[in-house]
A and B are shown apart, each in its own frame.
Chain A
């Protein structure tokens, strides 16, 4: 049942960019980081003068954004390539994954349906894409058992993607026959009409596992409270900060912010894509370094460093 074996995770205890475990001097990333920080200590060239840019081909005030963007892309791609080459990357197990497996496992044990709610935003929202990646893997978990997987949908554009993901999940588990197209249901674009429809499924189909991943708004608490009422195990994940309190209060397990994307990376077909988690971790480490340095320099009255992070 576990979708990712520990072999795939390539667990290894040493870490690449934490000084406690590696030799700082020999680590290429510390060199890059050091050079980068030195570079930023040069006075920022961004003048933010109010000039007319409607005829020019580059916005000089966004030079800093260009540098940060290229740097971040490079880090992500570098780690993905590294993972592809088979270098071991340690990634801790994400608790949210266990929660999903446990919920689905319990539902299939009891022969009750699984409900997957992919948020209420369109497929051009990254959170919805992440939800779709998770959906395919949930379908794979459910496929072996004859329990239905209901996917109510709020935006028509998500319907084809969800259908494909579920179908593919069932096929990957060797049960293409078990796929029922009628279980991927478009309900309504209107937020509360959608919530009413999903509540209806919860009350009458009595799913045992409610998985809610994606971009949620006010309907989050309606779904989570109704789900609680029906006694389902609920796992929710969103990067919409305003709805996290309600999921935390009413669900059994909540996947917070970046963990949603991490979970989807874990579950995506290629475990190698986990390299991106490593890249994003390095970015966070750099951000912490920058914040500390920035605060110290700001305290000393040196503002040129901070100015690099100013965006008009």
Chain B
């Protein structure tokens, strides 16, 4: 391992420990790392958009004579009207375009994937003769009750309230499960960092002594 790489990795190791110092309390090292990561990442994103969106999607098509790309160019430039107090309303058509396209794409797909498909998957054969059938009954009851929790036009009282309460219990079990499933992934991230630091200090030790 060369000296240059050792130094670069040293920088990385220093930054890693600066972030971890936050766990004890806020301190100058953490502040330094925090401001560095914000600045560097904002610059990084400017690069990504320049090289992956601005150049290939606007400049190159325009150069190639696809002049209709002037439309998004203008819509984009209109956003810059925000710099002027007087003309900032000019940015609204662009806003309308972006929000409209987002909403338009989302509507049919939300209905398809989060409603109809889920409804289809819940229409299961039911019964009390075998365990899978009983499980299906449970799934359907739990979906009903959890949906009852999301009713806004009826007070959660009486039998309906009981259903909504059972619904919230179902949600809580789901949240607990979601939490439990996640611990592993978070620990994996920490383990990866610990291995990085371990390897670096081993290298440093080897280089120094």
Contacts and interface: CB of A to CB of B under 8 A. Distances in A.
Given A92-B153, A126-B106, A188 B123 contact: no
Nearest to B136: A295
B38 A188 contact: yes
B152 A199 contact: no
User: How many interface residues does chain A have, given as a range?
Assistant: 35 or more
A257 B126 CA distance: 28
Contacts of B125: 295, 298-299
Nearest to A249: B179
Interface stretch (A106-114, A170-178, A284-292): A284-292
Contacts, number: 165
A92 B176 contact: no
Contacts of A125: 102, 106
Interface in B85-115: 88, 91, 95, 98-99, 101-103, 106-108, 111-112, 115
A200 B112 contact: no
B117 A299 contact: no
Contacts of A161: 95
Contact of A294 (B41, B45, B98, B123): B123
Contacts of B178: 241-242, 244-245
The B contact surface, by secondary structure, is: helix
B45 A189 contact: yes
B153 to A, nearest CB: 5
B130 interface: no
A123 B42 contact: no
Interface of A: 15-16, 18, 64-65, 68-69, 72, 89-92, 94, 122-126, 129, 157, 160-161, 187-190, 192-194, 196-197, 199-200, 203-204, 241-242, 244-246, 248-249, 256-259, 262, 277-278, 280-281, 284, 287-288, 290-292, 294-299, 306, 309-311
30 contacts: A65-B111, A65-B112, A69-B111, A94-B152, A124-B102, A126-B103, A160-B79, A160-B88, A187-B42, A189-B41, A190-B42, A193-B37, A194-B38, A196-B38, A200-B31, A200-B35, A245-B179, A245-B182, A262-B152, A278-B152, A278-B153, A291-B122, A291-B144, A294-B119, A294-B123, A296-B126, A309-B119, A309-B120, A311-B117, A311-B120
